[in-house]
Structure 1
Amino acid sequence: MEFLNTSPESHCTSELLGSSDGEEEEILMYGEDLELNPFDSLPYSSRYYKLMKERQELPIWKVRCAFMESLLHHQIVIVSGDAKTGKSSQVPQWCAEHCLAAGCRHGAAVCSQTHGQLAVQLALRAADEMDVNVGHEVGYFVPFESCCTTETILRYCTDDMLQREMMSAPLLNSYGVIILDDVHERTVPTDVLLGVLKHVLRARPALRLVILTAPHMSSKLQDFCGSVPLIRVENEHQAEVVYTCSMPKDHFLSALRLLFELHHTKEKGDIVIFLACEQDIEKASQMIRQEQSTSNPDLGELIPVPLYPTRNDLIPKPKQDKQKCYQKYRRKVLLTTSFGESLIQIKNITFVIDVGVERRKVYNPRIRADSVIIEPISKAQAEMHKQMLSMSPSGKLFCLYPEEFTYKEMKPDFPAKIQESNLTSTVLFLKRMDIAGFRHCEFLSRPAPESLMQALEDLDYLAALDNDGNLSEFGIIMSEFPLDPQLSKSILASCEFECVDEMLTIAAMVTAPNCFLHAPSGTEEIALTCWRKFSHPAGDHFTLINVFNAFREASTNSAGQYCSNEKWCRNYFLSCSALRMAEIIRAELVEIMKRIELPISEPDFGSPENILSIKKALLSGYFMQIARDVDGSGNYLMLTHRQVAQLHPFSSYYNTRRSPEWVLFHEFSISEDNSIRVVSEISPHLFVELAPQYYFSNLPPSESKDILQEVIDHLSPVSAIKEKQKTNSDNKENEKYPQTPTEQRCIIQ
C-alpha cells in the first residue's frame, strides 16, 4: 500500500511536568504535612507518593489551581481537553477533594461515563491514586453491577444509570459535584442530563456541575450554559500522520494488511485500529488469531483486544496474578470503532490505523426501524484518533484515505445521537420527570419533532399515558424497568397471563449481547447442527429460553466452574459472557419485580397453555412489530409500512427452512440485506385480540390489514357483546389498560 507523508515530523517539548516550581513545593508540603489520608484517615502508602509524581506529569495538572478556584466560585465549569490529558481520572478526584473540604460538605462527587467498562477502569485507577479501596471511598455503579456504599465520596457511573437515579431522587441531593464526562460523544442520556441538570442547578445553588469535553464542543457548550469558566488543556506531542494516495477498495482488508506489515517490521509498541463497525471488530479478532497460528514465532505474538463501544457486556476485571515476563514479545492490537477512543487506556501505543468511515444505525420514526448507513467519520473524530499517540513521541497515525478526503468529505462534527435514535425510552423518562416538576428539558440539540411525536404515540399505544398525555400509573411502573418500554409492557402483561418466569428470561436474553457466535469459516454447518438442539417450534423467543435453561443446567452440572461453562459454550458455538450477562440481568429484573411487589408465577415452560400465554404477553408489548410472509417464500412485509425483510440466519426458522405466515419480531434494521431478528410465530386471531383497536384503525391500507379485518368481522358478534359489557362495567380493566377515542390519536405516517 502506498502512503504519502504530508504532516511535519513529531515534536515534543522538553518537559511534560504540569506544575511550576511553586506548585511542586506546595504538593511536596501537602505530602509531608498531611501524613494521614483525609479520605480514610489512614497513613499514606509509599505507592501514593510514587503515583503522585506520575499524576503531576499529566498535562491536566497545569490547570489544577485554576480549576479548583473556578469550582469554588461558579456553579458550572467546562474543562476542554485533548484525549489522554488526564482529565477523566484527575478532575473527579479534585471534585472529591472539594466535597471533603471544610465548608464544602455538600455530598459526594459523581462522574458519569458513556461506557460501563470505562467507569470501572477509572474507579479502579482513582482508588489506586487516592490510596483508598474500591467499594468504600471510591466506587462505581454501572448497568447490572454496583460497587458503592453510602460513605463513598467519589462515584463513577454510566450516564444512563445517573439518569435512572434521577427518577427516585430528581434533585440528586446526595451529590455536591456532578461531572459529565465525554460530553462530545453526544449520547442520548448525556444530552438529556445536560438539559435536566440546568433545572436542578437552579433549585440547588450549592450544587456544582463540571463538564468534560473535547475542544470542538467548547463554544457550543458555552453558548448552552451561559457565561461560565472554560479551562483548556492541550497535549504536548503532535503525532506524525501518513495518508494513502487513494481510497482503498476494502477498508477492512487494507487495515489488516497494514497491521501485519507493521508487525513484520518488529518495531515495538501496541497498535490501535479504528474500524467501521462492531461486526468488523469480531471478524478482525478471528482473522488475527488465525494469522497468528501460521506466522513466524520469532515476530512475537499478536494479542487482539476487542473494545465494543455499545455492547452491554460483562466488564472484565484486572487479573490479580500477572505474568511478569514472557519468552517472546507480545503486542496488543486494540480493535474498536470511531466512537471507542475513550475506551483505550493503555499508554504503550505506537501505531494507529484509521479506516476513516463508520457504519452506524440511524432511527427512522416514520417506519419505526433503524437504517444502516456507511459514511465518512467527522473531522472531530479524526482529530481524536490522532490524539491517541499524544504520549508517544515516535508514534504514527496511518489514515486509509487521502488528505483531501478530510476536507472534501468529512463533516466538521458528528451528529448528536438524540437526533438519530428511538426516543421512546427518553420520553418515558421525561414524563417521569414531569411528576417531579421538571416540565421542560432544554436540549443542546433539538430532537426531530417527528421522533418526539412517534415516541408519544408509541407510549400512548402501550397505555403508558393517560387521557391528558401525562404518565399513567401503568407508565410509572413501566419506567421502573431499565428496558425498552415495549419489553417492560410485555413483562407487566405476563403478570396477567401467568408466565412471568419465562418472560423475564426472554427479556434478559434479548437485552444481553447476542449469545450465538459467528462460526469460523468451515464450521458453519457444525454450528447450525448444535443450535438446532435448542430450536423450539414456537419461535426464537422460546429458543432463547431453551438456550438459557441449558446454560443454567450446564452451570449446575459443572458445580459453577467457569472453565466448564466456557467449554460447554464453545462446544455449542455460544457466547459464555453473553449468557452470564443474561443471568445477571434476569436476577436484577427479579429484584425489581419484588421491590414493586409484582407477582412472579411458577415456571411452566413447555405446556401448550404456557406457550400461548407467552405469545399473548409478547403481543401486548410488540403488536407494533408484526410482519407477514406475503408470497410464501420468506419475504416478510411489515404491517406498519412497505418494507420487506427476510429471516436472520440466526433464526431457528431459518435453520429449519420453515417460514410461518405471521410473525412477531424483536428487531428490524434497513440495510443491504434487510432481516428481522428474534422472530416467533403468531396468529391473526391473537393480534386482533391484544392489539389496541385505535392502533389497528390507524394502520395504512394493505392486504394484511384486510385479512385482519376479516378476522375481526368474523368475530364481530362475540366482540360486540364483550365490548358493550366492557364499556358499561369494566372500570377496573380500563385503569389497567386505559383507552381513549380514536380521533384523539396520531395517525401513523
Structure 2
Amino acid sequence: MGGRRQRIDLGDDEASNKKQKADDDNAEAEAQTHNPWTGLPYSQKYYSILKKRFTLPVYQFKQELLKKVMANQCVVVEGETGSGKTTQIPQFLLEAGLASQGETCIACTQPRRVAATSIAARVADEMDVQLGQEVGYTIRFEDVSDPNRTVLKFVTDGMLLREAMHDSLLSRYSAIVLDECHERTLATDVIMGLLMEILPKRTKGSKHGELKVVVMSATLDAKKFQEYFNDAPLMKVPGRTFPVEVFFTAKAERNYVEAAVRTTLHIHQCEEPGDILVFLTGEAEIEQACEEIRKTAGSMARDHGELVVYPLYSSLPPEAQRKIFSAAPKAQVAGGPPGRKVVVSTNIAETSLTIDGIVYVVDPGFSKQKVYNPRIRVESLLVSPISRASARQRSGRAGRTRPGKCFRLYTEQSFHKDLQETTYPEILRSKMSNVVLTLKKLGIDDLVHFDFMDPPAPETLMRALELLNYLGALDDEGEMTELGYQMSELPLDPQLAKLILVSPDYGCSAEIVTIVAMLSVPQIFLRPREQAKAADEAKAQFTHADSDHLTLLRAFNEYNMVPERERKNWCWENFISERAMISANNVRNQIIGIMKRLDLAYVSSDIKGDGSFSSMDIRKALTAGMFMQVAYRQRSGEYLTVKDNQNVAIHPSSVVNNRQDWVIFEEFALTTKNFIRTVTSTNVDWLVELAPHYFDLENFPKCEAKGELEKAYLRMSKMCKR
C-alpha cells in the first residue's frame, strides 16, 4: 500500500466538500479492511480500540482542527484532561497527509520519558502497527524508531532540542506537536523560542517545505501561548468529565506520606468501588507508600476486596509502567466485594497520562521542583507546594468515567492563600549552562534577545557563560571552542561531558564512561528500611574509602563479571537495583558509540584485565572535570564550598569519611541541612595544576582554603624551577 496518504483538501466550496465526502467514504471503506501502512488486514484489537477512539471529545473537532492547521502555520489547542488530544491529534495530522515514509515525519513532544514511551505504545496499538516502525519514540539514551519507516515519533522535548543542534531547521519534520506546554519545562521553552526563528524560514514554498506547529496546553495558559505565537488561532476542546466532589482537611497534616496512606486505606474501607490515584513527589516516597498500603490492605481483602498497588515514576522500566493500565482485580468470591487498583504516582499522572477507572484522587499538594540559586551556583530538587492550576488538574483525574472524589490533604484556606495560581516556569528556576551550550551550537549568539516566552534572569545567563568559559567550551569572547562543539555532542551535563573528553589524557576513559553511566541512572544501591544493616554490609564490599565514584565503578565491574543468567540473583543478594544496572549498561554503550564518532581514545587503567584500576588516575580525571565543585575541610572540621563559601556536610550515604581535606562532589542537596553527595577526595596540588584559571588567587575570596592554595602554587613554582 506504500504507506502514503493523500493530503486532505479543506476548501469550503460545495464541489470540494462533495469530493471530500466521497474521498472520506472511500478511505473509510478501505480502512475497514486493510492497514494503509502495512498493507495487512486490520486486527480485531484495532476495531475494538477504534470504537473507543470515536467516543473521545476531540473527534468532534477533527475537521475544524484540520481546517485551522491547513490555513495557518501555527495553531494553539486548549484541550482539557480526558479529551484525547495527545493520542488523536498527531494521528489526525498523519491522516491529513502531513508525513510520508522515508521523507517527512511528524514529531510530538512530551516533557517526560514515561509519557513519550507509553503514549507511543498506545498510538502504535491504535494504528495497528509495530512500535519502532511507523510509530516510534526517542528519549535520552534510547531510540526506538526507524528513519526509513517512522512517520509519527514521540520525543522528549530535550531530544528534539538535540536534533535541532544537528539540523537547525528541523527539516526532517513537516509538523511538530508541542504537548503539555502548560508545564513550561526548560526544554519546551527553548524549543518554542527556536520555532519562532524556524517558522519564518519554513513557510510554504521554502526549500524544506512548510512546517506546521500545533501547541497543546491543558490549562487556561493557552491565551499566553496564542499571543506568543503571533496571534495563532485558538481552538478549545472540552474534556469528558463528570463532577468531582473536593474535600479539604480541617488542619495541616504533619506527615503527608502517612496521611496519603491513611486516606487511601480509608477510601478502600468506606467508599464505593473505583480505582484510586495518589500523588507523591518521588521514587523513595512512592515505594514507601506502596509498601505500607500493601501491608495493611492484605488483612482487609476478605471484607473489602483485593487491593493491588502500582507505583509510577520516571525510572521505572516500561513493563512496570504499563501495569498501571491493568484492570482492577475482580471479586475473589462470587457475590463478594470487587477489588480495587491504586496507582501511586509523581505528577506525571497530572496531565501526561490518562489512567482509566480512576474515581478517587488523593492529593497531598506537593511536587518536586528544580530550584536554582545563581548567587551560590546551586541547583536542587526541592519538595514544593503545587499551584492551584495543578491542584485542579489533579482533581479532574477523578471525574473521567463517573462522578468522583478528590481528597486534598491540606486546608481550604491554604489552597486559596498559600498556593500560586500557576506553576513558575522552569526556565526562571534552572541553571542554564546546557541551554546556553545548545543555543551556541545552533549559532544563536545574542542570548539576551533570544525570543524566550519568559526570559531568564541575566545573572543566571552570566553564570552559565562563566561555567562554560571555565570548562573551555567557550573562549573569552564567548565563541564556541572545538572542545565546546565536542561537549555539545554528548547528551550530558557540561561538566560530565568535559570529564568524558579529558579522560583519555589520564588513561582511564573506559572507567570514566562507566562512572558517568552509573551517575546517569537513579538509586544503584538499595537500602530498605527494615534491612538497612544488611544493605550497608553489602555496599561495604564495593567501598573505595576515597571515593563514591570509585565505589560505583567497583560495583559495576563486579556485576559485569557475573554470568548473565546469575545477575538477577546477584543484585538481589547485594541490595543493588538490577533495573539501574541494565540502564547503566545501556547508557554506557551509547556514550561509547558517541566517543567512537568523536574519535576519542577508549583506554583503560585496568591493564591486567581483572577489574582493578588506578585510583589516582581516575581521581585526577574526575578533578579535571569537576574542579568547580570543590569543598575544603576547615580547622573546625566543617566543610566549606570553595569560592561560594557555603557550609556543607558530606551526606551520610557517602563512603568518604569526614577527614579528607579536599573533596569534589557531584551534587549539592538542600534537605535538613546543606549536604554534598557522591564525593571523591582530591588533592590541592591537582587543583592548581589542572585548573589554575579557576583557582586564580587574585580573584579568590578570603578563607582558610586560600592559604592552602598559596602553598600549593609555591610548591608548583619550585618544581618548575627544578
Listed as ranges, the matches of 1:647-658 within 5 Å are 647-653=650-656
User: What's the counterpart of residue 631 of structure 2?
Assistant: 627
User: What's the counterpart of residue 88 of structure 1?
Assistant: 86
User: What's the counterpart of residue 534 of structure 2?
Assistant: 526
Contact 1:84–1:390, Cα closer than 8 Å, also in 2: no
2:490 partner SS: coil
Amino acid at match of 2:184: R
Structure-2 separation of matches of 1:510 and 1:214: 34
Selected match of 1:645 from 648, 661, 668: 648
User: What's the counterpart of residue 473 of structure 2?
Assistant: 464
Listed as ranges, the matches of 1:420-435 within 5 Å are 420-434=429-443
Amino acid at match of 1:265: C
User: What's the counterpart of residue 331 of structure 1?
Assistant: 340
Structure-2 separation of matches of 1:195 and 1:312: 32
Instruction: State the 1:264 CA deviation.
Output: 1.8
Listed as ranges, the matches of 1:168-183 within 5 Å are 168-183=166-181
User: What's the counterpart of residue 8 of structure 1?
Assistant: none
Contact 1:352–1:398, Cα closer than 8 Å, also in 2: yes
Instruction: State the 1:504 CA deviation.
Output: 0.3
2:551 partner SS: helix
2:236 partner SS: strand
User: What's the counterpart of residue 686 of structure 1?
Assistant: 686
1:652 partner SS: coil
Structure-2 separation of matches of 1:680 and 1:481: 23
Structure-2 separation of matches of 1:56 and 1:314: 27
Structure-2 separation of matches of 1:339 and 1:529: 35
Identity of aligned residues (%): 35
1:155 partner SS: strand
Instruction: State the 1:406 CA deviation.
Output: 2.0
Amino acid at match of 1:193: I
User: What's the counterpart of residue 280 of structure 1?
Assistant: 285
Listed as ranges, the matches of 1:367-382 within 5 Å are 367-371=376-380, 373-382=382-391
> Which has the larger displacement, 207-216 or 568-577?
568-577
Instruction: State the 1:243 CA deviation.
Output: 1.9
2:442 partner SS: helix
Structure-2 separation of matches of 1:246 and 1:685: 56
User: What's the counterpart of residue 227 of structure 1?
Assistant: 231
Instruction: State the 1:720 CA deviation.
Output: 6.7
Amino acid at match of 2:106: A
Amino acid at match of 2:150: T
Structure-2 separation of matches of 1:47 and 1:72: 32
**Residues 483-517 of structure 1, C-alpha deviations (whole Å, 9 max, x = no match):** 11101111111111110000000000111112122
Selected match of 2:259 from 229, 248, 254: 254
Structure 2 residue 136 is the aligned partner of structure 1 residue 139: yes
Selected match of 1:588 from 590, 593, 597: 590
Contact 1:313–1:581, Cα closer than 8 Å, also in 2: no
Structure-1 separation of matches of 2:347 and 2:41: 43
Let me know the Cα RMSD of the aligned residues.
2.8
Relative to structure 1, the CA distance from residue 323 to residue 119 in structure 2 (aligned partners, 3 Å threshold; closer, same or farther) is closer
Contact 1:235–1:390, Cα closer than 8 Å, also in 2: no
User: What's the counterpart of residue 540 of structure 1?
Assistant: 548
Selected match of 1:579 from 563, 567, 581: 581
- Count, aligned residues: 685
**Residues 136-155 of structure 1, C-alpha deviations (whole Å, 9 max, x = no match):** 21111112221211221111
**Residues 279-337 of structure 1, C-alpha deviations (whole Å, 9 max, x = no match):** 3223212322333455444434433322225x486674758x99997673553321223
User: What's the counterpart of residue 716 of structure 2?
Assistant: 715
Instruction: State the 1:636 CA deviation.
Output: 1.7
Amino acid at match of 1:334: V
Contact 2:117–2:318, Cα closer than 8 Å, also in 1: no
Contact 2:244–2:403, Cα closer than 8 Å, also in 1: yes
Structure-2 separation of matches of 1:570 and 1:406: 43
Amino acid at match of 1:713: L
Instruction: State the 1:184 CA deviation.
Output: 0.9
Higher RCO structure (Cα 8 Å, ≥6 apart)? 1
> Which has the larger displacement, 586-595 or 399-408?
399-408
Amino acid at match of 2:464: A
Instruction: State the 1:222 CA deviation.
Output: 1.2
Structure-2 separation of matches of 1:296 and 1:312: 27
Listed as ranges, the matches of 1:11-160 within 5 Å are 30-34=27-31, 35-100=33-98, 107-149=104-146, 150-160=148-158
User: What's the counterpart of residue 497 of structure 2?
Assistant: 488
Ranges in structure 2 where 5+ consecutive residues have no aligned partner: 1-19, 204-209, 333-337
User: What's the counterpart of residue 304 of structure 2?
Assistant: 299
Contact 2:193–2:452, Cα closer than 8 Å, also in 1: yes
Structure-2 separation of matches of 1:314 and 1:118: 10
Selected match of 2:451 from 437, 442, 447: 442
**Residues 188-224 of structure 1, C-alpha deviations (whole Å, 9 max, x = no match):** 1111000001111111111101111122211110121
Contact 2:558–2:611, Cα closer than 8 Å, also in 1: no
Contact 1:106–1:207, Cα closer than 8 Å, also in 2: no
Relative to structure 1, the CA distance from residue 200 to residue 470 in structure 2 (aligned partners, 3 Å threshold; closer, same or farther) is same
User: What's the counterpart of residue 506 of structure 1?
Assistant: 515
Structure-2 separation of matches of 1:454 and 1:138: 40
Structure-2 separation of matches of 1:57 and 1:565: 47
Listed as ranges, the matches of 1:403-414 within 5 Å are 403-414=412-423
Structure-2 separation of matches of 1:597 and 1:101: 35
Normalised to the residue count of structure 2, the TM-score between the two structures is 0.89
Structure-2 separation of matches of 1:274 and 1:609: 44
Relative to structure 1, the CA distance from residue 376 to residue 130 in structure 2 (aligned partners, 3 Å threshold; closer, same or farther) is same
> Which has the larger displacement, 491-500 or 596-605?
596-605
Structure-2 separation of matches of 1:463 and 1:345: 45
Instruction: State the 1:358 CA deviation.
Output: 3.4
Structure-2 separation of matches of 1:433 and 1:315: 37
Relative to structure 1, the CA distance from residue 33 to residue 601 in structure 2 (aligned partners, 3 Å threshold; closer, same or farther) is closer
Selected match of 1:553 from 557, 561, 572: 561
Contact 1:314–1:578, Cα closer than 8 Å, also in 2: no
User: What's the counterpart of residue 4 of structure 2?
Assistant: none
Contact 1:500–1:600, Cα closer than 8 Å, also in 2: yes
> Which has the larger displacement, 241-250 or 451-460?
241-250
User: What's the counterpart of residue 611 of structure 1?
Assistant: 615
Contact 2:102–2:150, Cα closer than 8 Å, also in 1: no
1:401 partner SS: coil
Relative to structure 1, the CA distance from residue 532 to residue 499 in structure 2 (aligned partners, 3 Å threshold; closer, same or farther) is same
> Which has the larger displacement, 269-278 or 25-34?
25-34
Structure-1 separation of matches of 2:653 and 2:692: 31
Instruction: State the 1:90 CA deviation.
Output: 0.3
Amino acid at match of 2:707: D
Contact 1:362–1:421, Cα closer than 8 Å, also in 2: yes
